[in-house]
Structure 1
Amino acid sequence: MIGIVIFMCWFEPLRNNSLDFLVAQQVMSFQAAWFLDPIIHGDYPPEMRQALGSKLPTFSIKDRRKLQYKLDFIGINHYTSLYVRDCTFSPCKSSDNIDESFIYTERNGIPIGKPTAMPNYYVVPHGIEEVVLYTMRRYNNTPMFITENGYAQHSNSSMTELLNDIDRVDSMRQYLAYLNNAMRKGADVRGYFVWSLIDNFEWLYGYTVRFGLHYVDYNTLKRVPKLSASWYKQFLHGVEVQHEHEQVDTH
């Protein structure tokens, strides 16, 4: 099986109006459909064509013929959701440091979800259902894998907080529940991968954030299962853990 993995944030209209709704659709097309539409439909997204016109290249007949082979699966890396708003008739001022001024993390001073240690990564569980249904409807329910989904902790947190990662357990439980909703609605999801098995070097953020189900001592490389590792193992065996009463030994 040959496929492609796409990072997909879910974008929601900041305001309840048609302009913000259309902008949310456009942002999705510039993020995910930019890559998937040509492979599956043989052309760039209509939303991109409308916005960029002749700036976008066209595919030759030979190119389109090659694209007919399509994909066996679509991989989705999903972590968070954000708000977007239209800036056509009024200037936009972002509420954070994201480059695009039309993207917001708050509405009326309230964050879109619980913040994590990763900048602009919020716990917004219904977002995973939305991106899966979006992919299902746009790409003829091509088989999907959730290739990354996880929760970030600050590395400088106490050992007790790092090992008894209740917030990660809550996030996983909620995201998996919404993923299950999408599957019940017909989404052909074949697998789910947690990011990550162990704490590791996180690109620009290095060792300052931790996504692992297992704690790693970066001096000795010793690995210690966190509460989330125990919870996930039992979850996979069909056992729901009452984590409020469970603790991991931090010694």
Structure 2
Amino acid sequence: MPRINFPDGFDFGVATSAFQIEGAWDADGKGPSVWDTFGHTPGKVHDDVPGDVACDHYHRFRDDVALLKDLGVDSYRFSLSWPRILPDGTGAVNRKGLDFYKELVDELLEAGIAPNVTLYHWDLPQALEDRGGWPNRDVAGWFADYAALVFDEFHGLVPRWSTLNEPIALWVGYGMGAFAPGRADERAGRQAMHHALLAHGRALEAFRAGGDAEAEIGIVLDIWKRHPATASVADHDAAERGDDESFRFFLDPLLLGGYRDRLVRRLTERGVMPETRPEDFELIARPVDYLGLNVYSRVVASAADAEQRWWVAGDAHPGGNFLDNGMEFYPKSVYDAIRMVTGEYGFDRPLYVTENGVSDALGDDAAHPIDDAERIRYVAGFLSWIAKAVEEGADVRGYYLWSLMDNYEWSAGFSQRFGLYHVDTRTLARTPKRSAHWYRDVIAARGFDPAALP
């Protein structure tokens, strides 16, 4: 296989999120988030260990930026904690919270690393959940005010923004109850998803009004394309339904101007179609500067196993070529996602692969390998398909590996490890894995030789 190369100007980066690494959950005026509440509720997260400390990035961010500089990344994708900046979600500003992010941005810029900032990565202020949370239409206004504040404070400092990361997580939190805030109400989940799109549109308005002409803004969606397990009509329908109710729920209003008829029909028949207003879709469909795609694999959909938990490591599900953590290794999924967005949806602006990575999923500290050859092969597979899409003319501008370090993986706690750097949960020491050295070399060479993979 020939060498895999990437063009000059292609951004290599890594990604994290505030709740998963910062810790300092109640320090310096920060308010609680729904994940703080969820993690302190017995039985909700792995081993009942909340994210109070996580990786303690709040106190160690300068050391972590040094890790980023050593990797040689062009860009670092991270999120802001809404309740660290606005403890009650609205109203009084916590200047110490803003100062933390300003110091982080300054440190990145000093290191020659471009900040890529996500406004929302799942940590809604608990005070806003107490007022109805994402199922309350007022959340779009609350989010717009928060966004306007942040855009003003960081004007000219951040070249790339995203409004939301993976808003499908609201379905998991409100519709399934598996994520914070732990509500299992399908109607509330669908309404929350619609309001997330409204919030995105309102934040986009605030960004354009701010006039930061040198910066770009987009939204980040995760794409797990469903493939029918067999050629049967039932499996085909299961795959179609899964796509419609996950990533197409967001892509259709954003890029096509509304929900597709078959989705509306299904949700209406179940009595869970979200309430919308005619003006909603014009707001939602206002053009973004780029689209971020989070792609990890595909889903093989089977009507005979409609309740399969394909996202849970160790659960039996259709597919093949399984990794050590139980997930299927299907790197072509990223190529398929790029082609779907550019072809089927006609998206003609830049794309970024904003998350891609793999969990060791081998338990806690002692079991986690430093010699993580499987992660290297996984990332190399996805980079190869991204390079193919670029060679064919797709305007893919960058790749962000998830994640810089082993972090607090939501309900899974520290039982799943995605990091290039191992984090010892007792000492919080960061230790580079083999993949960190490999990725550093890929960035420096702007590519790699597939024949040299472990």
Q: State if a TM-score over 0.5 links the two structures.
A: yes
1:56-102 deviation line (CA, Å, top 9, x unaligned): 4575553343345222222122212221134xxxxx23595459xxx
Q: Which residue of the partner structure matches residue 35 of structure 1?
A: 250
Q: Distance in 1 between matches of 2:364 and 2:285?
A: 50
What one-letter code is carried by the residue in structure 2 that aligns with 1:113?
N
Match in the other structure for 1:201: 408
Structure 1 unaligned runs (5+)? 87-91, 245-251
Counterpart of 2:283, as a letter, is K
Alignment identity in percent?
27
Match of 1:93 among 305, 319, 335: 305
Q: How does 1:17-56 map to 2 (within 5 A)?
A: 17-53=232-268, 56=273
Query: SS of 2:380's equivalent?
Result: helix
Deviation of the 1:190 alpha carbon: 1.6
Looking at structure 1, the residues matched to 342 and 234 of structure 2 have their Cα atoms a distance apart, in angstroms, of 24
Q: Is the 8 A contact 1:82 1:105 kept in 2?
A: no
| Deviations 1:150-204 (CA, angstroms, capped at 9, x unpaired) | 0111244756x61110000111111111122223333321211100011111101
Counterpart in the other structure of 1:150: 357
Q: Distance in 1 between matches of 2:232 and 2:285?
A: 37
**Preserved contact between residue 365 and residue 425 of structure 2 (Cα < 8 Å):** no
Structure 1 CA distance, aligned partners of 2:402 and 2:230? 32
How far 1:226 sits from its partner (Å)? 0.8
Q: Secondary structure at the match of 1:207?
A: coil
Kindly indicate whether the alpha-carbon contact (under 8 Å) linking 2:365 and 2:424 is maintained by their aligned counterparts in 1.
no
1:131 counterpart (314, 331, 337): 337
Deviates more, 1:219-228 or 1:200-209: 219-228
Matched, 1:113 2:321: yes
Q: 2:291 aligns to what SS in structure 1? A: strand
SS of the residue corresponding to residue 76 of structure 1 reads strand
Deviation at 1:219, TM superposition (A): 1.8
Counterpart position of 1:11: 226
Cα distance in 1 for residues equivalent to 2:258 and 2:335: 26
Q: Tell me, yes or no, if the aligned pair for 1:105 and 1:112 is still in contact at 8 Å.
A: no
In structure 1, the residue matched to 2:346 is: 140
Instruction: Give the secondary structure class of the aligned counterpart of 1:199.
Output: coil
Give the equivalent residue in structure 2 for 1:234: 441
> Partner amino acid for 1:4?
I
Q: CA distance change for structure 1 residues 171 and 13 in 2, over 3 Å: closer, same or farther?
A: same
* Cα contact 1:43–1:59 (8 A) shared by 2: no
Distance across 1 between alignment mates of 2:247 and 2:404: 26
The more displaced of 214-223 and 162-171 is 214-223
| TM-score when normalising by structure 2 | 0.46
2:288 corresponds, among 71, 80, 85, to 71
Structure 1 pair 105–60 and aligned structure 2 pair: CA distance change class (3 A): same
Supply the AA of the counterpart residue of 2:425. Y
Q: CA separation in 2, counterparts of 1:10 and 1:218?
A: 34
Report the alpha carbon displacement of residue 112 of structure 1 after superposing the two structures with TM.
2.6
Q: Which TM-score applies when normalising by structure 1?
A: 0.79
Give 1 or 2: higher helix fraction.
2
Task: Work out whether 1:163 is the aligned partner of 2:370.
Answer: yes
Change (3 A) 1:51 1:98: same
Task: Please state whether the residue corresponding to 1:172 is helix, strand or coil.
Answer: helix
Are the aligned partners of 1:75 and 1:144 in contact in 2 as well (CA < 8 Å)?
A: yes
2:430 matches 1:213: no
Preserved CA contact (<8 Å) 2:299 2:310 = no
Partners of 1:43 and 1:12 lie apart in 2 by 24
Give the alignment's Cα RMSD to 1 decimal.
Answer: 2.8
Q: Which residue of 1 aligns with 2:392?
A: 185
Give yes or no for contact 2:422–2:432 (8 Å, CA) kept in 1: yes
Q: Distance in 2 between matches of 1:64 and 1:209?
A: 38
* CA–CA distance in structure 2, aligned partners of residues 12 and 169 of structure 1: 26
With over 3 angstroms needed to count, the CA separation of the structure-2 counterparts of 1:185 and 1:105, relative to structure 1, is: farther
Matched AA of 1:93 = D
Specify the SS of the correspondent of 1:145: strand
Cα deviation 1:114-171 (Å, max 9, x = unaligned): 1343xx6322111111122112223322422111110111244756x61110000111
Q: Distance in 2 between matches of 1:134 and 1:208?
A: 33
Does structure 2 conserve the Cα–Cα contact (< 8 Å) formed by 1:128 and 1:178? yes
